[in-house]
Amino acid sequence: NYTTDTKSREENKKTLENLCSLSVDITKIRRLKEWVVLQDVAYVKEIAGILQEMGADETTVASIIERCPEAILHTPAEINAQRALWQLVCQNEKQLIKLIEQFPESFFTTEYQQNQKANILFFQELGLKNNIITRFLTSAPNIFYNPVEKNKNVIETLQRNYLNLGGSEANMKIWILKLLSQNPFILLNTSTAIQENLEFLQKNYFTDQEVLQLLSKLKGFIFQLNPTTMQKSMLFSKNIFKCSDQELKQLVLKCPALLYYSVTVLEERLEGLLKEGISIAQIRETPMVLELTAQIVQYRIKKLSALGYDIKSGNLESLNGTKKDFEVTYGKIQSKKERPIFNPVAPLHIED
């Protein structure tokens, strides 16, 4: 543990000299994490040496230390152990140094090395490809800090529930791997929370097949919710759309965001749509539009209006989808508008 009491301490001159020799911008470190240069012991040259061994040039080394100054407080043994660990999933050291440059904090968190190793091996056994595991190491490092038993427990709960809901043994592995690839953070939940959420859906008249459908559509985000928030969101939607329980269920299956987003978010998005002159009836017809933020809705309506497309009188399908989906829709409407009307009996003007 490093002390962060900076008032009565002086900067370590040797650390500063070593950092200067590597062309590291010390003002950045002072601004970001001043306590690092106050420590009695630092391994500036050693850590720089290890990074250079892996293929980092001087600029890269300086950039890594500036963005993650605490790197120099780890012992060479700790960093070499971390290097060996990440090499289990990296193709080569060139890829490894590139990852360290992009995500230095993930690499220099060395306190959970035993858990990290056990989890990497578990994910490999599970069938996750190494490129997916490296993505997890950099973007969701917390899941590696769990004891491997905890992650195994969550996976076993998912597998058991998948089979209980009518999923096939043959498809289970693909389903689990896809779910994890889309949202590794499901591993930060407890088995109990997962169970409670699935039971909530069953109590609300969703069939086993429909629950499976929701799990796939929500990409695992359902496991980050809880029955209380889901109940509030569903009640809000039921009141707004003035629908029966069965109708509400169909709306949720069409647009799982009605289950996932909080009442506050749904209210804000609904308000944004109504301000644009869109009716509740139109939203009920195409609830997926609630997946978009008010800003995105405004931007898309503005673009479509410029083409003379009146969103208020049509359906909202043209607003839906990802940015790419919308661009495709927009392109089709634009080309339809620009295409000249062909008259089959008009004379053709052909020059001699």
pLDDT for residue 340 is more than 80 = no
Neighbours of 261 (CB within 10 A): 21
In the structure encoding, which two tokens stand for residue 138, read together? 């950099």
pLDDT for residue 142 is more than 60 = yes
pLDDT for residue 250 is more than 70 = yes
Q: Tokens 């004379």 correspond to what residue?
A: 347
Predicted confidence (pLDDT) per residue in 47-96, tens digit: 999 999 999 999 999 999 999 999 999 999 999 999 999 999 999 999 99
Select the more confidently predicted residue: 318 or 147. Answer: 147
Note the pTM of the prediction, 2 decimals: 0.78
Domain boundaries, the chain: 10-110, 112-220
pLDDT for residue 7 is more than 90 = no
Cα(18)–Cα(281) distance, integer angstroms: 68
Predicted confidence (pLDDT) per residue in 12-27, tens digit: 999 999 999 999 999 9
Predicted confidence (pLDDT) per residue in 177-233, tens digit: 998 998 899 899 888 888 899 999 999 889 999 998 888 777 777 788 889 999 999
Query: Which pLDDT score, from 0 to 100, does residue 351 have?
Result: 47
> Of 99, 26, 90, 17, which Cα lies nearest the Cα of 56?
99
Average pLDDT over residues 238-254: 93
In the structure encoding, which two tokens stand for residue 329, read together? 């829709």
Query: Which pLDDT score, from 0 to 100, does residue 337 have?
Result: 72
Average pLDDT over residues 233-249: 93
Query: Which pLDDT score, from 0 to 100, does residue 312 have?
Result: 78
pLDDT for residue 130 is more than 60 = yes
List for the chain the helix, strand, coil content (%; round to 5): 70, 0, 30
Residue-wise DSSP of 282-340: HHHHSGGGGGS-HHHHHHHHHHHHHTT--TTTS-SGGG-S-HHHHHHHHHHHHHHHHSP
Query: Which pLDDT score, from 0 to 100, does residue 8 have?
Result: 47
Cα(285)–Cα(291) distance, integer angstroms: 14
pLDDT for residue 330 is more than 70 = yes
Q: Tokens 């090395």 correspond to what residue?
A: 113
348 pLDDT band (50/70/90 cuts)? very low
Select the more confidently predicted residue: 311 or 259. Answer: 259
Name residues whose C-beta falls within 8 Å of residue 192's C-beta, 6 or more positions apart in sequence: none
Average pLDDT over residues 110-122: 95
CB 68 within 8 A of CB 104: yes
The CA-atom distances, in angstroms, between 160 and each of 124, 150, 154, 168, 219 are 20, 15, 10, 11, 18
In the structure encoding, which two tokens stand for residue 86, read together? 């990440």
Query: Which pLDDT score, from 0 to 100, does residue 341 have?
Result: 52
> Of 235, 146, 237, 225, which Cα lies nearest the Cα of 193?
225
CB 147 within 8 A of CB 114: no
Cα(194)–Cα(287) distance, integer angstroms: 26
Question: Residue 275: is it exposed, middle or buried by C-beta count within 10 angstroms (0-12/13-18/19+)?
Answer: exposed
Average pLDDT over residues 286-290: 91
pLDDT for residue 342 is more than 90 = no
**Average per-residue pLDDT in the chain?**
89
Query: Which pLDDT score, from 0 to 100, does residue 215 have?
Result: 83
352 pLDDT band (50/70/90 cuts)? very low
Query: Which pLDDT score, from 0 to 100, does residue 344 have?
Result: 53
Round to the nearest angstrom and report the end-to-end CA distance of the chain.
90
Cα(109)–Cα(70) distance, integer angstroms: 9
Query: Which pLDDT score, from 0 to 100, does residue 216 have?
Result: 78
